[in-house]
């Protein structure tokens, strides 16, 4: 018996999951190194991680490498970067930027 086809088509929920996952990863990475600002190096590390995940999926059955997933990753990282001023307003989180 032949294996079942794995083409699930394009779904938005996967892209939304990538978007929010990389927002949270950016926040966690930034808070892990409070002495350093969120900069290009931190963003590049996350983007490299996302790229690695996509490349690995080339070798996993029923998975594919998607540039749109990478775009969702980048947008999640960018959302974190642009939301830092709002995050600073939360008393429980603003300690990250205090000296």
Tens of pLDDT, residue by residue over 49-98, are 999 999 999 999 888 888 999 999 999 999 999 999 999 899 888 788 77
**Global confidence as pTM:** 0.87
Q: Residue with structure tokens 């960018």?
A: 78
Phi, psi at 91, each rounded to 5°: -55, -35
Q: CA–CA separation, 15 vs 58, rounded Å?
A: 17
What's the pLDDT band for 3 if we cut at 50, 70, 90?
low
User: Nearest 5 degrees, angle CA 62-CA 51-CA 3?
Assistant: 5
Q: How many residues does the chain have?
A: 99
Residues 8/59, Cβ–Cβ less than 8 Å: no
Cα dist from 61 to 51, 56, 57, 64, 66, whole Å: 18, 11, 8, 8, 14
pLDDT digits (tens, 9 = 90+) for 22-55: 999 999 999 999 889 999 999 999 999 999 999 9
What's the pLDDT band for 12 if we cut at 50, 70, 90?
confident
């Amino acid at each position: 018996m032949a294996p079942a086809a794995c083409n699930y088509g394009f779904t938005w929920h996967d892209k939304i999951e990538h978007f929010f996952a990389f927002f949270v990863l950016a926040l966690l990475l930034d808070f892990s190194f409070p002495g350093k600002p969120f900069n290009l190096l931190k963003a590049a590390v996350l983007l490299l991680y996302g790229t690695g995940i996509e490349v690995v999926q080339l070798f996993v059955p029923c998975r594919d490498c998607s540039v749109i997933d990478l775009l969702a990753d980048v947008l999640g990282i960018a959302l974190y970067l642009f939301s830092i001023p709002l995050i600073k307003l939360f008393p429980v989180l603003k300690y990250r930027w205090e000296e």
